[in-house]
Amino acid sequence: MKSSAFSVRRSALKDRKNRALAFMRICAVAFVMIMMLLAVYTEAGAQATQKKGVGSPEKRIGDLEKDVMKLQREVDIFNLDALPENLMLCDKKIPIYREDVRDRFERELFQLLENKGLLTLIVKRYLQYLSMINEEIQKMALPSDLVYLAITESYLLPRSLSRANAAGIWQFIKETGKREGLSINDHLDERYNIKKSTRSALTHLKRLYGESGDWLIAMAAYNAGPARLREAIEHQGTRDFLDLYLPEETERYIFRILAMKEIILNRERYGIRVDEKELYKPLSLVEVVFETDREIHTNILAKAMELPYRTFRTYNLQIRKYRLPKGTYRINVPAEKKESFLKRLKSYEYIGIVKEN
C-alpha cells in the first residue's frame, strides 16, 4: 500500500510537471519564431533602428537568444530527470534513489522554487552572513552544512519571531535559550544577538549530536525536541532518520534543509541569478564586553560607534530598552570601527572594558 501511494503521488507530480514542461516548450518555440521573423526584417529596418538609437539588429537578436536560453533553463527546473542523483547533508549521503526519499525531497524542492523572489533574498542574506556563521562553526569543528539549518529556521531574518515565540535566526524558545546561556530578561534578549545565539545554537546541536551520533537525528531533535526523538527510536527500533515515523513537520524539516542547500549551492541551475553589484555587504562584527557602574543610555554606545541609532540597534537586536542598568554587557561592533569605539568608550570613567574579541 505504501509503495502504491508513493507511485500515485509521483505519477501526479510527473503529470503536473510534464504539463508545465510542454507549455514552456511551446513558449520557447514561440520565442524562436519571433527571433527568426525579426532576422528576416533586420536588413530592411537596420537604418531606421540605428537612427532611433535602439541598437543594432544583431544586438536585438542576441538579446532574444538570451531570452530563449533563460526560458529553457526555466523549463529544465520542472524536468524531473534533471534533479540531482547524489545529495549529501552533514557528510551523510542521502539515498535519493529511494522512491519515498525522492518524493519527500521533491515536495520541499518544488515548493521552495515556487517563490523565486524569496529565494533571491535568501541567497543574498546567505552570502551576507555566511562568513560570520562559518567562523563560529569552524571554531567548534562542526559540519558547515549547519548554516542551512539557520536559513531554514528563519530565512536569516535576525528579528524573526514565530507564532510559538521562537526568536532570532536560530529560533530559540526562551527555555532552551536560557539553558544554553542566553540572557533573556526585561533589558536583554540574547536570542536576537547574532553572534552569541549562533554559538549557543551550535553548542546545543553539538550536545544533541553527542546523544545520537547522527546529524540528521540531531537536527530533527533541534526541531522536535530530544525527548520525542528518543521515544521514537525506542519504540520503532531504528536510529535511521529516514525510516522513523515522526511528526510531519519534523519529517519535512530535514528535507527542507536539504532542498535549501541544493538550491543555494546550485542557484543558477534553478534560475536564481544575482548580480554581484546587487549583493549585500558581508557582515563583519566583533564582540566587546563592557561593564558600567551606573545606568547608561544606549545612545552613548551608538555615538561611540559613530553609527545612526537604528544601525546600532540592527547590530544589537538583543537590547530591548533605551536604558541599561548597572551591569556587564556584550555588544557587537562593526570590525572596522572597533578601535575607535574602544577609544571613545574608555573616555567614560564609569565604563570599563572587560573583553574585546
Query: pLDDT (tens digit, 9 = 90+) per residue, 177-194?
Result: 999 999 999 999 999 999
137 vs 4, residue with greater confidence: 137
Take residue 351 and report the three cell numbers written for it.
Answer: 565604563
What is the structure's pLDDT at 85?
82
Contact (CB, 8 A) for 150 and 170:
yes
Residue range 310-325, pLDDT digits in tens: 999 999 999 999 999 9
Residue range 15-74, pLDDT digits in tens: 555 665 555 666 655 565 665 555 555 554 545 445 444 456 666 666 666 665 555 555
**Segment 234-263 mean pLDDT:** 97
CB atoms < 10 A from the CB of 109, how many? 21
Contact (CB, 8 A) for 117 and 126:
no
Together in a domain, 205 and 336? no
Take residue 121 and report the three cell numbers written for it.
Answer: 533574498
Number of domains in the chain: 3
Together in a domain, 298 and 260? no
10 Å CB burial of residue 70 (0-12, 13-18, 19+) is middle
Together in a domain, 173 and 42? no
pTM, entire model: 0.79
What is the structure's pLDDT at 5?
45
What is the structure's pLDDT at 42?
52
Tell me how many degrees the CA angle 291-296-300 measures, rounded to the nearest 5. 95
User: Which residue range is the domain that position 313 belongs to?
Assistant: 285-356
Together in a domain, 100 and 237? yes
Average per-residue pLDDT for the chain: 86
- From 89, 109, 87, select the one nearest 216 (Cα to Cα): 89
Give the rounded percent of residues in the chain with a pLDDT score beyond 70. Answer: 77
What is the structure's pLDDT at 252?
97
Residue range 259-297, pLDDT digits in tens: 999 999 999 999 999 998 999 999 999 999 999 999 999
Beta strands per DSSP E along 171-223 = none
Q: What is the CATH number of the domain that holds 178?
A: 1.10.530.10
Contacts from 9-17 at CB under 8 Å and sequence distance 24+? 9/103, 10/99, 10/102, 10/103, 13/80, 13/103, 13/106, 13/110, 14/80, 17/78, 17/79, 17/80
Bridge partners, residue 93, by sequence: 88
Together in a domain, 259 and 295? no
Give the rounded percent of residues in the chain with a pLDDT score beyond 90. Answer: 74
**Segment 330-344 mean pLDDT:** 96
What is the structure's pLDDT at 84?
81
Residues whose CB is less than 8 angstroms from the CB of residue 132 and which lie 6 or more positions away in sequence, other chains included: 194, 195, 198, 282, 283, 284, 285
Together in a domain, 131 and 58? no
Together in a domain, 236 and 133? yes
pLDDT above 80: residue 158: yes
- From 322, 338, 279, select the one nearest 123 (Cα to Cα): 279
What is the structure's pLDDT at 177?
97
Together in a domain, 11 and 112? no
**Segment 203-226 mean pLDDT:** 97
Letter for the amino acid at 302? A
